A and B are shown apart, each in its own frame.
Chain A
Amino acid sequence: MLKKVVVTGIGATTPLGGDSKSTWENLLAGKSGISTLTQEWVATHELPVTFAGQAKTPAKEVLTLQEAKRLDPSSQFALIAAREAWADAGSPEVDPERLAVDYATGIGGVWTLLDAYDVLKERGPRRVLPMTVPMLMPNGPAAAIGMDISARAGVRTAVSACASGTEAIANAFNRIRNGEVDVVVAGGSEAAIHPLPIAAFAAMQALSKRNDAPEKASRPYDIDRDGFVMGEGGGALVLESEEHALARGAKIYAEVVGASVTSDAYHITAPDPEGSAAARAMIGAIEQSGSSITDVVHINAHATSTPVGDIAEYNALKRVFGDHLSKIAVSATKSSTGHLLGGAGAIEAIFTVLALHERTAPPTINLDNPDPSIDLDVVTSPRKLEGSNILAITNSFGFGGHNAVVAFRSTN
């Protein structure tokens, strides 16, 4: 028999705040986490993009010296987010063999890899840190969390670019739903604000170049959007079978009611302009919930602020919701956080869960001149969500043609 799955803990470290509470407060306040990069390497490499969403609280201020030394920044963010989520869930007593981790990253330990290559070139192979391999591997963040909470039912890493975090939550949901495990710490992180990824994303014309006004650069659905803004950080959710959560009297934020992963098989980076596979992912998640599309009141859109991507998602939304789309409150929270790549799905799942739990859809900032070709009801100041048993979905799409959608239902 399939189990019901609920969210019992959340944790995050983002450009808006060092924990989920401050992140959410600053999101609702319409703040931007984007700022000019002051590191020397920006000028050294004459980078065409000079801003990003850096983590508000540096990880080294939170972790011990040893943890910071032995973990890539992506794993540091993961550990910080997971510890907050775990404590928020009440540090549950769980049989380790029924406790798992599904934690994603889009790129992996890119800082570690590139620093190590610099050391190799400048100082030779003997000076390359012996921890280099475990620090750069993409499963590093998941493994760090798994060891921290003694999860022995499997520690897995979804790697599907910017859909990674959402895909990890989908994977976790399915494991609990199928009765394989009782509790999973799920989510994703990224730490790629490094000159090479910035240069590479800029080379493909994916990044906004609004260097003179960083806080205005991430502007999904605005006619003047010119690309996404890189962000860093991580998010984690404690997913638990409802049965397990009720037995221990846990606080429940929302129910995870559906998840779906599809693929475009269209182009390695460009989204399918028809959005048919993205639409199937949304329909799949909603159908699995046993609800109908008219029950959906809120969407946390992928909406990265690229000229092409925002339109493609809009086309997919029209395909799924038709006339009902005008009744859905759409939030594009990357306008405040920037794009956390493999961490994006995790923090946006948290925003979706909090939107249901607090009945408040978060705002989309910088929408000064809405693109007339995108006819959505975009939330620009915090908006009350009415009703009980309301449904919300979060969308994530990634290079490679990955589409991942998770649906949540309110429980309060």
Chain B
Amino acid sequence: MALSASEVLAGLAEIVTDETGIATDAIALDKSFTDDLDIDSISMMTIVVNAEDRFDVKIPDDEVKNLLTVGDAVNYITKAQG
């Protein structure tokens, strides 16, 4: 069964925290991965791969550059779940 957007956010926040050490409650929909959370491209790729595993979705490399904010990623994953 597909997860809701808020469930995806909670799961994604756990992945980001695990990779970066950033507090989970600081990871909100409007936060930019690079400007607000200071996540570099290497951490971003690890987050993407872990999100693919967790949510059973595919996030093509070409798509990653469009995921500027946490909200972008949550939207993409929520839709990709089908």
Chain A residues packing against B (C-beta within 8 Å): 64-66, 69, 126-127, 129-131
| Chain A nearest Cβ from B80, distance in angstroms | 16
Question: Which listed residue, A64, A65, A129, touches B46 by the CB 8 Å rule?
Answer: A129
* Separation of A64 and B21 alpha carbons in the complex (Å): 9
- Which residues of B (32-80) have their CB < 8 Å from a CB of A? 41-42, 45-46, 49, 52
Given contacts A130-B42, A131-B42, contact A65 B49 (CB under 8 A): no
* Separation of A130 and B49 alpha carbons in the complex (Å): 10
**In the complex, are the beta carbons of A65 and B21 less than 8 A apart?**
yes
| Chain B nearest Cβ from A361, distance in angstroms | 45
Ordered nearest first, which 10 A-B pairs have the shortest CB separation? A130-B45, A130-B42, A65-B21, A66-B21, A131-B42, A127-B49, A126-B49, A130-B46, A129-B46, A66-B20
| Chain A nearest Cβ from B31, distance in angstroms | 18
- Find chain B residues with CB under 8 A from A66 CB: 20-21
* Separation of A69 and B43 alpha carbons in the complex (Å): 10
B45 to chain A: closest residue by CB = A130
Does B19 touch A at the CB level, under 8 Å? yes
Q: What are 12 contact pairs spanning A and B, CB under 8 A?
A: A64-B21, A65-B21, A66-B20, A69-B19, A126-B49, A126-B52, A127-B49, A129-B46, A130-B41, A130-B45, A130-B46, A131-B46
Q: Which of A65, A69, A130, A131 has the most CB of B within 10 A?
A: A130
| Chain B nearest Cβ from A205, distance in angstroms | 41
- Find chain B residues with CB under 8 A from A131 CB: 42, 46
- Find chain B residues with CB under 8 A from A129 CB: 46
| Chain B nearest Cβ from A132, distance in angstroms | 10
* Separation of A13 and B46 alpha carbons in the complex (Å): 30
- Find chain A residues with CB under 8 A from B52 CB: 126
- Find chain B residues with CB under 8 A from A69 CB: 19
- Find chain A residues with CB under 8 A from B41 CB: 130
| Chain B nearest Cβ from A236, distance in angstroms | 26
| Chain A nearest Cβ from B44, distance in angstroms | 9
* Separation of A131 and B21 alpha carbons in the complex (Å): 17
- Find chain A residues with CB under 8 A from B20 CB: 66
- Find chain A residues with CB under 8 A from B21 CB: 64-66
* Separation of A3 and B41 alpha carbons in the complex (Å): 44
A67 to chain B: closest residue by CB = B21
- Which residues of B (1-31) have their CB < 8 Å from a CB of A? 19-21
| Chain A nearest Cβ from B67, distance in angstroms | 16
- Find chain A residues with CB under 8 A from B49 CB: 126-127
* Separation of A66 and B21 alpha carbons in the complex (Å): 7
B61 to chain A: closest residue by CB = A126
* Separation of A127 and B45 alpha carbons in the complex (Å): 10
- Find chain B residues with CB under 8 A from A64 CB: 21
- Find chain A residues with CB under 8 A from B19 CB: 69
* Separation of A130 and B45 alpha carbons in the complex (Å): 7
* Separation of A140 and B25 alpha carbons in the complex (Å): 33
A128 to chain B: closest residue by CB = B49
- Find chain B residues with CB under 8 A from A126 CB: 49, 52
* Separation of A127 and B41 alpha carbons in the complex (Å): 15
| Chain B nearest Cβ from A295, distance in angstroms | 52
| Chain A nearest Cβ from B63, distance in angstroms | 14
* Separation of A18 and B46 alpha carbons in the complex (Å): 31
* Separation of A66 and B17 alpha carbons in the complex (Å): 10
| Chain B nearest Cβ from A62, distance in angstroms | 15
B44 to chain A: closest residue by CB = A130
* Separation of A14 and B19 alpha carbons in the complex (Å): 28
A65 to chain B: closest residue by CB = B21
A131 to chain B: closest residue by CB = B42
- Find chain A residues with CB under 8 A from B42 CB: 130-131
| Chain B nearest Cβ from A140, distance in angstroms | 14
- Find chain B residues with CB under 8 A from A130 CB: 41-42, 45-46
